[in-house]
A and B are shown apart, each in its own frame.
Chain A
């Protein structure tokens, strides 16, 4: 769906998305890297459970939420991708790390 502009192909890094290795430009945000790799959905909503993917790419829409290196609710468009980064689909609401049993 998206093609990289030729002047944006520079140093490359590799990260994983749900365990699958993806190669990206070192200057990409996580959201841009996912879109460039053809990933269309990276989270499901807490209310209806429907699938969502990066939309505004500027920190406003919160559709690109993912888990990064075990931390939920990260806005993929505001985080630069790093070599070895572990990105995962965020399913529903982010569970707070110290979440007690209800």
Chain B
């Protein structure tokens, strides 16, 4: 008989029901924790419903070698996550990891990308990820649809993609299977730590728990100081263009172009330092579409059916932040731009750390202390 946990005091409150919060809540509930998720409504600035859905290892970790290892581990754990979500919910998240390409439209662009990978692998303590540099003919052998302007590409066999909307749906559907108390339209206004218990309050009332995880994306900047943490974010807006569905023509995801399992083609990867509004900038989407057509000329035949823009959850250096409050142990924060790629790390490893109440060494590198090196030196 299902247990009605709505009125019981939870063991832990997760603030935020996006991919980060949902991965954490699902992972915690699988261990039997009583989990309450406080989420905003459908108009929340939710990167989880706007992202490009790549599981991407290639190039991650320049300036931060630990991030390469973390991302590789995530890609390796993805089949487990997809299988467990399928078993919990019957939902197939469309996991596909055939490797992925960065397609370059000039020799200079290819050299710049190769140079970045060489620098990544030369860092002290660097963790290697496999990659191949391919010329035009070698690229065409694997991506027959490329156009004559493609100079070459970089292929990494660890890369892949999923259907991220179904991933989001599967995590939320799995809440039911594990008795997660999910509350939409419950924006958190204040968090008051008192005697080892956190009281989270909003217009809807309050919830109390001995543990709390801030997984509120951009909202973490406002909430973190309430539990003695600091979550500096930078503004990063991205736009995505989606075409009508077409028969499969692109076997592999490309970092800026991918064909979904349902046939639509997504074109993405713009980045602006724009935190002001979400109005589409058509000059930017035109450049994205033009570059995509130069890579794959047959895209010219397709109509665009949707475009959107969204804010990334972007930390100061672009890498994830995981941290427990020193002033108020039991309060954690987690934020990452790569909520899709890292979902298994959040559902498994980060959940283990939160349950244990300590961050293991492999995760300690991701604390905000890395932003304060000059102050420590």
What residues make up the interface of A, taking CB atoms closer than 8 Å to B? 46-47, 62, 65, 73, 75, 92-102
Interface of A is mostly: loop
Please state if B244 and A99 are interface contacts (CB–CB under 8 Å): no
Task: Tell me the chain B residues, 299-319 only, with Cβ under 8 Å from chain A.
Answer: 301-303, 305
User: What's the nearest-Cβ distance from chain B to residue A91, in Å?
Assistant: 10
Name the residue of chain B whose CB is nearest to the CB of A98.
B298
Q: Give the docked Cα–Cα distance between A65 and B305 (Å).
A: 13
B247 lies within 8 A of chain A by Cβ: yes
Q: Give the docked Cα–Cα distance between A47 and B261 (Å).
A: 9
User: What's the nearest-Cβ distance from chain B to residue A18, in Å?
Assistant: 20
B129 lies within 8 A of chain A by Cβ: no
Q: Give the docked Cα–Cα distance between A62 and B242 (Å).
A: 14
Contact flags B275-308 to A (C-beta < 8 A → 1, else 0): 0000000000000000000000110011101000
Residues of B contacting A62 with CB < 8 Å?
Answer: 244, 305
Count A-B pairs with CB separation below 8 Å.
Answer: 52
Interface of B is mostly: loop
Please state if B145 and A98 are interface contacts (CB–CB under 8 Å): yes
User: What's the nearest-Cβ distance from chain B to residue A69, in Å?
Assistant: 14
User: What's the nearest-Cβ distance from chain A to residue B99, in Å?
Assistant: 15
Residues of B contacting A65 with CB < 8 Å?
Answer: 244
Residues of B contacting A96 with CB < 8 Å?
Answer: 246-247, 249, 298, 301-302
What residues make up the interface of B, taking CB atoms closer than 8 Å to A? 144-145, 244-249, 251, 262-263, 297-298, 301-303, 305
Q: Give the docked Cα–Cα distance between A94 and B302 (Å).
A: 9
Residues of A contacting B297 with CB < 8 Å?
Answer: 98
With most chain A CB atoms within 10 A of its CB, the pick from B144, B145, B246 is: B246
Please state if A99 and B247 are interface contacts (CB–CB under 8 Å): yes
Please state if B245 and A94 are interface contacts (CB–CB under 8 Å): yes
Contacts A73-B301, A73-B303, A96-B249 known; 14 new A-B pairs at CB < 8 A? A46-B262, A47-B245, A47-B263, A93-B245, A93-B246, A94-B247, A94-B301, A94-B302, A97-B301, A100-B144, A100-B145, A100-B249, A101-B144, A102-B249
Please state if A102 and B248 are interface contacts (CB–CB under 8 Å): yes
User: What's the nearest-Cβ distance from chain B to residue A98, in Å?
Assistant: 5
Please state if A99 and B263 are interface contacts (CB–CB under 8 Å): no
Residues of A contacting B298 with CB < 8 Å?
Answer: 96-99
Residues of A contacting B244 with CB < 8 Å?
Answer: 62, 65, 73, 94
13 residue pairs A–B, Cβ–Cβ below 8 Å: A62-B244, A73-B301, A73-B303, A92-B247, A93-B248, A94-B245, A96-B247, A97-B298, A99-B247, A99-B249, A100-B144, A100-B145, A100-B249
Please state if B145 and A93 are interface contacts (CB–CB under 8 Å): no
Q: Give the docked Cα–Cα distance between A73 and B298 (Å).
A: 13
Please state if B263 and A46 are interface contacts (CB–CB under 8 Å): yes
